[in-house]
Structure 1
């Protein structure tokens, strides 16, 4: 049970975090429950003071979370130029994208425990500073192999911003508040796929692909200054986890023994797989299969990106009144239904392109309902090591999304392959939630708190 100690709150401000008290929510022991059903979600533990964040705080954390997305999306239009300039193949150039995802997954697993050991500010300041250095080295890379290696390093250091941002949310929020905060971040993060490719194409068109990395370095400098001046330290020394590698491995072992946490941590990755399958397959489906021009595809990509942002904001609004676990259950079921409809349309051709696009937009609008709610519940179970927990969630999200999305190409890369992989990821997510957690059992939702 949660401790009965009163929890001080300071409305409208960023109160200092208090020392963690013993609670089952913080320990994350399987089967723990909260006595008495909360009104909107899990009761906040003692180490997560409640407060109302202002727009600047949301913008700061959103920009931190968007750093990997910006570093990826702004570079997309440059891939053909990279292959031509460095005398390599398109497949080799694409390794600069895959390498960044791999580096990001590993980086989150390493940096998460470091943020629990040394606090939140130091890891992100070092990580963003190294992002600046690596970006400048990418700008002068002489060949494809060094560029791939540098992109792996860039993904590794960029992970510091994502992990720390999620840990900051857990330090300050729990339950519905945490889910709402994560959804608000999507308003900032969602700008990356909307405008970053166009900006990257403009920069590369004027000054070449190497200038894109100079811009990323400048972006990193600006973010580093803002973090230095504006980001509070939310993990005081008395709450930090001492120790080195053994402590980190012990933390990961504790997380992996909590099957409810593992199930919830997998869900954002499976949802990301739905999104990444669309991102990877849509150029071939819409441009090759349906004959859309490059301009038409770019416009459609932006419209679907707006759907992602809109869905996140709707989730942020309704989570004020509905518990995150209830939203999660409905969102997963609806995703299965809509991806099933998408597959039927792809197989039969019923309704033509417009029917496919409408259902696809609805699927993408649902994508950002599951990750913030699943992540908020999972992080709430392990508040004492939020950095390590955030690292596991982030690594699973990047790894699962990247691996599953490639299956559409293996299956042929058409509309049927895209819809089938999206449906498979959604069905797997529903099975994980139904079989590995008590989410659908009577009273089981509160066991996840």
Structure 2
């Protein structure tokens, strides 16, 4: 079946369910950050080993998005969604009873593969139900939910871990997944039926043709490298602010929420700016700012290395991402009208692949410096603006 396309964005129960599905990734990433030390102590492991469970999650998001991108066109929207939700619930429960850190790392990879179903299929269902103009408003709501999740998730995670142990965080995540499974089963309509003419084996050819587009690659890499700095922060900030600067997990979660407010606020400013300027013009100004504050943090970490010298440029970097990332995404998809679904899957996977390497960089540099996060963010900020400048097509 094909869902009736609407030109009016209705923020009903269906949209709320789709928003919850897109929140799986930030919830799964951010809720357990304050419990890094508790997990390390539980397994007799180092904090760097716990960080690898986050790196594994990023690589799971990279692979999973490519899998669901074609599967949802072939089998309809809801069947792959059921499959992903079951994987997510089972692996979340298994994480709570993981016997060692190695098992937890493997389970986090599989958990991410399940979480991808909500991310990819929610976007596809919005495209099914709404015209481009109406879907833009719905996507704005989904992005708002994804921005609020990093504020609330560490707060809940810190207090859940303190009161019930870090295992309770994964039990809570599993319960959220089960609730969404019931909501999808009974309240979410199927927006596109199966099309068995779609060939899964042809997806690689489609993805490769998207990657060869120079405009797509320029904007996708620019946005992906910039966003990788955010994931370097997510990976390395527990060590910097809890281990080095001595914040309690509860205070760290409040600081994490403060930084999330920055990206939410600037993303709303971006919406206002787009009424007056093109996305490319905003990107031309915001990218050099992003690179400047990231290199500034890198420099201050190497020279001064105190709390405020890290926090202030870090806040500015994360806030500026609210201007950079949406406009880079718009540039990547602008010329992909006939293959927007595949292009969305490719750019999403590419972003998390780069994020995975940035997370690995934090892990490796952490062996030599307490401020590995700052070094990695500085590198990402500088590389993103160089990528944008050097990959520009000649006029």
Q: TM-score range by the shorter chain?
A: 0.7 to 0.9
Q: State how 1:175-186 maps to structure 2 within 5 Å.
A: 181-186=138-143
Normalised by the length of structure 2, the TM-score is 0.84
- The answer on whether the counterparts of 1:184 and 1:313 sit within 8 Å (CA) in structure 2 is no
- The answer on whether the counterparts of 2:73 and 2:198 sit within 8 Å (CA) in structure 1 is no
Aligned to 2:4: 16
- The answer on whether the counterparts of 2:58 and 2:355 sit within 8 Å (CA) in structure 1 is no
2:384 is equivalent to residue 396 of structure 1: no
Greater CA drift, 300-309 or 421-430: 421-430
Q: Which among 118, 122, 144 is matched to residue 165 of structure 1? A: 122
Q: CA deviation at 1:170?
A: 4.7
**Structure 1: gaps (5+ residues):** 1-13, 18-48, 443-449
State how far apart, in whole Å, the 1-side matches of 2:327 and 2:193 are: 26
**Structure 2: gaps (5+ residues):** none
State how far apart, in whole Å, the 2-side matches of 1:343 and 1:144 are: 31
Aligned to 2:64: 107
State how far apart, in whole Å, the 1-side matches of 2:282 and 2:14 are: 25
Q: CA deviation at 1:86?
A: 4.7
Normalised by the length of structure 1, the TM-score is 0.75
Write the deviation string for residues 111-170 of structure 1: whole angstroms up to 9, x where unpaired.
Answer: 111122223333223211321222233334444444333222111111111112333455
Aligned to 1:242: 197
2:166 is equivalent to residue 212 of structure 1: no
State how far apart, in whole Å, the 1-side matches of 2:255 and 2:229 are: 17
Q: CA deviation at 1:390?
A: 2.1
Q: Which among 353, 369, 374 is matched to residue 328 of structure 2? A: 374
Q: Which among 22, 27, 32 is matched to residue 75 of structure 1? A: 32
Aligned to 1:363: 317
Aligned to 2:184: 227
- The answer on whether the counterparts of 1:179 and 1:319 sit within 8 Å (CA) in structure 2 is no
Aligned to 1:300: 255
State how far apart, in whole Å, the 1-side matches of 2:90 and 2:98 are: 12
Q: State how 1:45-84 maps to structure 2 within 5 Å.
A: 50-54=7-11, 59-84=16-41
- The answer on whether the counterparts of 1:108 and 1:391 sit within 8 Å (CA) in structure 2 is yes
Q: CA deviation at 1:220?
A: 0.7
Aligned to 2:87: 130
State how far apart, in whole Å, the 2-side matches of 1:140 and 1:354 are: 38
Write the deviation string for residues 9-40 of structure 1: whole angstroms up to 9, x where unpaired.
Answer: xxxxx9724xxxxxxxxxxxxxxxxxxxxxxx
State how far apart, in whole Å, the 1-side matches of 2:156 and 2:387 are: 39
Cα-Cα RMSD: 3.3
State how far apart, in whole Å, the 1-side matches of 2:122 and 2:96 are: 27
Write the deviation string for residues 282-324 of structure 1: whole angstroms up to 9, x where unpaired.
Answer: 3444455555555543332221121122122222333344333
Aligned to 2:278: 323
Q: CA deviation at 1:201?
A: 3.3
Structure number having the greater helix percentage = 2
